[in-house]
């Protein structure tokens, strides 16, 4: 019993992280209909910036002669989000905007090229070795269940709170603010939106920055929790997050979070209760199955076939 509960907790935290990264895929897809393959690598860049920010701020604090976990974490979040957002903006400007009127496949190839560029740029400047950040928050909440226990580390609690807070803020921005309305208008009909006086290029840039920001949030959280990363981590988590986005219905914000949670839970439960060898086979099979039953994902709107 305690084991099943523990696996649920494991799956929930993993899934919330997938969900955060999936938002980047789903928003970009919704607005310009492209799969941004470089998004996983934007997350990777944010991991590096997290470690760099921690190193810089810690050095500064030691120089000033005091120590504070809160200052380090807020400073790191701020720095990482700003710099990663800048990466999102520049990537869109350099690699995707010139291709605005080309076929979607051309943009896809450009995205794959961008992903290679980011990986190798980071490898060349930071070295190919494994990197880590020091452990900052230890300890865990433990609940006794029967003769076993279920535990959730403070770091995981922090991840869950931050992930859902990030999601909440984003949902508010998209649903209630003027910017959100402009985003949704552009998503529905780009040409019409521009006729109504929305600078769609600017909105698309904004969406890329928002996507990168969410990836940055995920980057800070995961890097603090697992402590380990290298220039290649973006690939696997990118594919997983993309799967999550499609599972939930690509283009739908709550769908991305739901897809992430389902993917995380199914992975943890399958790995924990059956076999971790075939857990990825299981998640991909689940995806295929869901898409066969619901061809637009769980929360996606079915595509209207226009004549």
By C-beta, is 40 or 166 nearer to another protein?
40
Is residue 129 part of the contact set for another protein (CB under 8 A)? yes
Instruction: Please give the C-alpha separations between residue 304 and each of 39, 142, 296, 307, in angstroms, as whole numbers.
Output: 28, 50, 11, 10
Helix locations, 92-189, DSSP H: 104-126, 154-176, 178-188
By C-beta, is 180 or 272 nearer to another protein?
272
By C-beta, is 227 or 254 nearer to another protein?
227
Is residue 92 part of the contact set for another protein (CB under 8 A)? no
91 token code pair:
């990537």
By C-beta, is 102 or 177 nearer to another protein?
102
- 140-145 and 131-132: which strand pairing? unpaired
- Residue 50 Cβ vs another protein, minimum distance, rounded to whole Å: 10
Is residue 158 part of the contact set for another protein (CB under 8 A)? no
Site string for another protein, 168-207 (x = CB under 8 A): ----------------------------------------
What letter would DSSP give residue 304?
P
Task: Using CB under 8 A, count the residues that bind another protein.
Answer: 110
What's the angle, vertex CA 108, arms to CA 241 and CA 185, rounded to 5?
75
Strands (E), 178-263: 228-229
110 token code pair:
């450009």
By C-beta, is 124 or 165 nearer to another protein?
124
Choose the binding region for another protein from 191-199, 207-215, 226-234, 254-262 (rule: CB under 8 A): 226-234
Question: Which of 78, 121, 143, 172: binder of another protein (CB under 8 A)?
Answer: 121
Question: Which of 22, 28, 42, 49: binder of another protein (CB under 8 A)?
Answer: 49
The Cα–Cα gap between 101 and 233 comes to 32
- Residue 70 Cβ vs another protein, minimum distance, rounded to whole Å: 19
Site string for another protein, 241-280 (x = CB under 8 A): -xx--x---x----------------xxx-xx--xxxxxx
Is residue 236 part of the contact set for another protein (CB under 8 A)? yes
Convert 170-195 to b/e letters by CB count within 10 Å (16 or more is b): beeebeeeeeeebbebbbeebeebee
Is residue 61 part of the contact set for another protein (CB under 8 A)? no
The Cα–Cα gap between 256 and 245 comes to 5
What letter would DSSP give residue 143?
E
Question: Which of 61, 71, 99, 157: binder of another protein (CB under 8 A)?
Answer: 99
Question: Which of 28, 31, 73, 114: binder of another protein (CB under 8 A)?
Answer: 114
How many C-beta neighbours within 10 Å does residue 144 have? 10
């Amino acid at each position: 019993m305690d084991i099943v509960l523990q696996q649920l907790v494991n799956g929930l935290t993993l899934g919330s992280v997938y969900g955060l990264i999936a938002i980047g895929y789903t928003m970009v897809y919704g607005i310009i209909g492209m799969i941004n393959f470089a998004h996983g690598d934007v997350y990777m860049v944010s991991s590096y910036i997290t470690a760099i920010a921690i190193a810089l701020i810690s050095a500064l604090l030691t120089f000033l002669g005091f120590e504070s976990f809160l200052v380090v974490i807020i400073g790191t979040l701020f720095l990482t989000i700003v710099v990663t957002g800048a990466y999102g903006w520049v990537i869109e400007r350099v690699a995707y905007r010139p291709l605005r009127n080309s076929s979607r496949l051309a943009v896809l190839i450009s995205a794959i090229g961008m992903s290679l560029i980011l990986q190798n740029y980071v490898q060349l400047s930071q070295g190919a070795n494994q990197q880590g950040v020091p452990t900052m928050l230890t300890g865990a909440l433990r609940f006794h269940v029967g003769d076993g226990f279920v535990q959730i580390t403070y770091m995981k609690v922090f991840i869950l709170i931050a992930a859902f807070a990030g999601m909440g803020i984003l949902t508010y921005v998209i649903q209630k603010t003027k910017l959100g309305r402009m985003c949704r208008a552009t998503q529905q009909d780009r040409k019409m939106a521009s006729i109504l006086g929305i600078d769609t290029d600017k909105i698309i840039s904004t969406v890329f920055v928002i996507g990168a920001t969410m990836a940055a949030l995920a980057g800070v959280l995961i890097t603090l929790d697992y402590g380990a990363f290298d220039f290649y981590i973006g690939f696997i988590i990118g594919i997983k997050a993309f799967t999550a986005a499609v599972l939930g219905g690509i283009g739908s914000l709550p769908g991305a979070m739901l897809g992430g949670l389902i993917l995380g839970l199914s992975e943890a439960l399958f790995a924990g209760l059956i076999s971790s060898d075939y857990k990825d086979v299981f998640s991909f099979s689940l995806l295929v199955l869901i898409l066969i039953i619901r061809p637009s994902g769980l929360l996606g709107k079915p595509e209207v076939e226009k004549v």
